[in-house]
Amino acid sequence: MRLNALTQPDSLYRGLSSLFLDSLILDIYKRSKEPIAPYTSSISTASSSTILLCSLQSYEIRRGTEKRPCHEITGVESGKLWDRRYWFEHSVESKQPHLNVATTSPSISQEAAPPKDSTVELISNVITQLKVPFARRLAKRLDYLVEASREEYPHQAPMVPESLRDFINYLQSIPNVRYPSVVLTTNGNIRLEWRKARNHHFAVEFLGDGNVRFVVFAQDPKHPERTTRVSGLTSADSLLSIVQPYGVFDWVSKQAMDVYGRVVRTLLNLSREENGIGVIEQRSTNQDIANMVGASQEMVSRIMKDLEIENYIKIGKNGVIEIPGKLPQDTDGPSERSAEAPRTAA
Amino acid sequence: MQGDPLLDSDHITRYCGASQINEDGTISGATFRLREGESYLSVNWLEFLELGNREAESSEIRRVLSSKLGIGTKAKIGVLNVSELRRYIFAESPDGRDLQVRHQPEPDDPSHSGVFNVEMDDDLIADLITENVRESYPAKVQLDWSEIRRKIALDRHSNTRAATK
């Protein structure tokens, strides 16, 4: 088996063990000599390879009047789910198997549908594959949503697997995000929501075809008392660049929220209670607070502005900071929104 | 009457499926998206019921909904005020959306009403509507079996005492 002929520079096989490759290709080769009929199978490897599962589906493709065997392979590699499809056909001249990698579906008629990952399988992959600290909790939540959906809509699929797969891929592409609120739309698509306040809201629905619908409520950078609201449809891989100008990742990213939490804790430590409200009389500039929490002055300024606009703090002309009630908690969990609701609408 | 607009002071409820409720119990925007086959958001008009208190109203809404839908164990009924909803959406939506709330009675659901001018996949409007949910109630009554057993035991006890007298 000549592996070089079977792979391309940006191959799907990069990082996979040769042991796995051998068994995979042998399997394909063996099967392709047999009469072709649509089937699926799985291969796993006992080596230290990170491959957990690989499914094959075979069907015939038409090349003019000729029919050739074609295979689609879906695999799961530790840390990422790869599902790019490629096809595989016998070379007419050499009668040897030859693999072509297709990043998009081949533009040839096919007699069987591409393989689809089942919801249950994908949810179990969340735990084993997703490199996020909340993977287990997320899988539990997804299980719950499937059950809830089955109870309410028994006549439809509880969750769209393609939407789930896009969602997993998306989370893998944005590390260090906070745990999102996950719900299902009535048609079974996954919808995520990160929300800190009325003017810090980012929601994404995965449509299952590589596209997403998104909603952003963000503070207008030039007029902080105003809220910018946008929504739209885009491809999942363009989403980050589209929402970036609205500062979405300032409140979606775990790192930014860590700074947020440190600023809040510092303010609490500096304050003393006076007539039921917290007061920081010692004049501290944003740069002072930035030095205390180990963050940039710009980041701290933005957080202080947020806290002021949402009426969590009041900064007097003399620099005295008042904290009229509880400050928002920095949690990475479901109680996030209920921890302390903002006092006024943006 | 069919098509009558609801008064500003009136309240409406929307069924919020369990899979559209966030983990912290808040209602997500997915609740206020048009469901398949809907041309407007289906709601119920509370004042039409003329029951006078929220407990009786929510109980009646539960009864009506359970005759029409499969109710999730953790589903909720969200309550909104008509005036607050309309004003907020008009002021805050980018296109100054003027939602209309009208009575749309059905034979088995006389308080049925609709929120009009919501389009399919109108995520932004749905998320804005969510911000107007004033209160929410469980859509399915959770039976407290220990309380039921206690009442049955009390009942038996009083029956036995009455018989011995």
Residue written as token pair 């306040």: A197
* Residue B135, phi-psi category: left (phi > 0), alpha (psi -120 to 50), beta (remainder): beta
Residue A258 phi, psi (nearest 5): -65, -45
CB B135, CB B37: distance < 8 Å:
no
Give the up-direction half-sphere exposure of residue A140: CA atoms within 13 A in the CB hemisphere. 6
Q: Are residues A134 and A224 in the same domain?
A: yes
Say if the Cβ atoms of B123 and A215 lie within 8 Å: yes
Q: Do the domain assignments include residue A345? A: no
Where among A251, A275, A309 does a domain terminate?
A251
Nearest-Cα distance to chain B for A215, in Å, is: 6
C-alpha closest to that of B45 among B4, B86, B11: B11
Residue written as token pair 């209309």: B100
C-alpha closest to that of A24 among A78, A97, A84: A97
pLDDT, average across residues B61-76? 87
C-alpha closest to that of A120 among A166, A161, A180: A161
Query: Can you give the pTM of this predicted structure?
Result: 0.60
B32-64, pLDDT tens digit by residue? 999 888 899 999 999 999 998 888 898 899 888
Q: Are residues A162 and A274 in the same domain?
A: no
Distance (Å, rounded) from C-alpha B141 to C-alpha A169? 39
Distance (Å, rounded) from C-alpha A186 to C-alpha B20? 8
- Long-range contact pairs involving A220-223 (C-beta distance under 8 Å, separation at least 24): A221/A247
Say if the Cβ atoms of A181 and B23 lie within 8 Å: yes
C-alpha distances in angstroms, B39 versus A155, B36, B42? 21, 9, 9
Sheet with strand A40-42: strands edge to edge: A40-42, A51-63, A66-77, A80-82
A102: its two tokens: 């297709």
Q: Is A300 exposed, middle or buried (0-12, 13-18, 19+ CB in 10 A)?
A: buried
Instruction: Answer with the residue of higher pLDDT: A4 or B27.
Output: B27
Least confident of B39-43, B73-77, B160-164: B160-164
Q: Is A225 exposed, middle or buried (0-12, 13-18, 19+ CB in 10 A)?
A: exposed
Q: What is the pLDDT of residue B75?
A: 92
Q: Are residues A140 and A173 in the same domain?
A: yes
Q: Which chain B residues touch A335 with a CB distance below 8 Å?
A: 24
ipTM: 0.84
Q: Are residues A99 and A130 in the same domain?
A: no
Q: Are residues A210 and A166 in the same domain?
A: yes
Q: What is the pLDDT of residue A4?
A: 30
Q: Which chain A residues touch B19 with a CB distance below 8 Å?
A: 145, 148-149, 152, 183-184
Q: Which chain B residues touch A230 with a CB distance below 8 Å?
A: 94, 124
Q: Are residues A89 and A168 in the same domain?
A: no
Nearest neighbour of B36 by CB, restricted to A186, A201, A229: A186
Where among A75, A98, A115 does a domain terminate?
A115
Residue A148 CB neighbours (<10 A)? 22
Q: What is the pLDDT of residue B103?
A: 96
Q: Do the domain assignments include residue A52? A: yes
CB A312, CB A304: distance < 8 Å:
no
Residue written as token pair 């299980």: A143
Helix, strand or coil, per DSSP, at residue B107: coil
Q: Are residues A111 and A131 in the same domain?
A: no
Domain coordinates in residue numbering, chain B: 11-164
Residue B67 phi, psi (nearest 5): -85, -15
Q: Are residues A100 and A203 in the same domain?
A: no
Q: What is the pLDDT of residue A71?
A: 54
Residue A79 CB neighbours (<10 A)? 12
C-alpha distances in angstroms, B82 versus A238, B10, B92, B139? 38, 6, 15, 21
DSSP annotation of A244 reads: G
Distance (Å, rounded) from C-alpha B10 to C-alpha B89? 17
C-alpha closest to that of A53 among A9, A86, A20: A20
Q: Element (H or E) spanning A22, and its range?
A: helix A18-33
Q: Are residues A79 and A192 in the same domain?
A: no
Is the Cβ of B30 closer than 8 Å to some Cβ of chain A? yes
CB B129, CB B34: distance < 8 Å:
no
Number of domains in chain A: 3
User: Chunked in runs of 10, what are the mean pLDDT values of chain A (346 residues)?
Assistant: 31 44 54 42 36 48 57 44 40 43 31 53 78 82 90 84 89 81 92 86 93 91 84 89 84 70 81 83 80 77 78 82 74 36 33
Q: Are residues A35 and A111 in the same domain?
A: yes
pLDDT, average across residues B75-103? 94
A199: its two tokens: 């003017």
Q: Are residues A85 and A177 in the same domain?
A: no
Please, which residues have CB within 8 angstroms of residue A283's CB and are 6 or more apart in sequence?
Answer: A318, A319, A320
Torsion of CA A104, A106, A112, A116, to 10 degrees: -10
A294: its two tokens: 């180990």
Nearest neighbour of A153 by CB, restricted to B25, B28, B70: B70
C-alpha closest to that of B78 among B143, B8, B18: B18
A38: its two tokens: 């649509």
Mutate which of B15, B23, B89 to test chain A, going by most A C-beta atoms within 10 A?
A: B23
Q: Do the domain assignments include residue A346? A: no
DSSP annotation of B30 reads: G
Q: Do the domain assignments include residue A344? A: no
Q: Are residues A128 and A235 in the same domain?
A: yes
Where among A191, A223, A251 does a domain terminate?
A251
Distance (Å, rounded) from C-alpha B31 to C-alpha A334? 18
Please, which residues have CB within 8 angstroms of residue B113's CB and are 6 or more apart in sequence?
Answer: B6, B12, B43, B44, B45, B48, B101, B102, B103, B104
Q: Which domain holds residue A10?
A: 3-115
Sign of CA dihedral A340, B130, A154, A233: negative
CB A212, CB A204: distance < 8 Å:
yes
Q: Which chain B residues touch A214 with a CB distance below 8 Å?
A: 123
Please, which residues have CB within 8 angstroms of residue A297's CB and are 6 or more apart in sequence?
Answer: A286, A287, A290
Residue written as token pair 């906070």: A178
Is the Cβ of B123 closer than 8 Å to some Cβ of chain A? yes
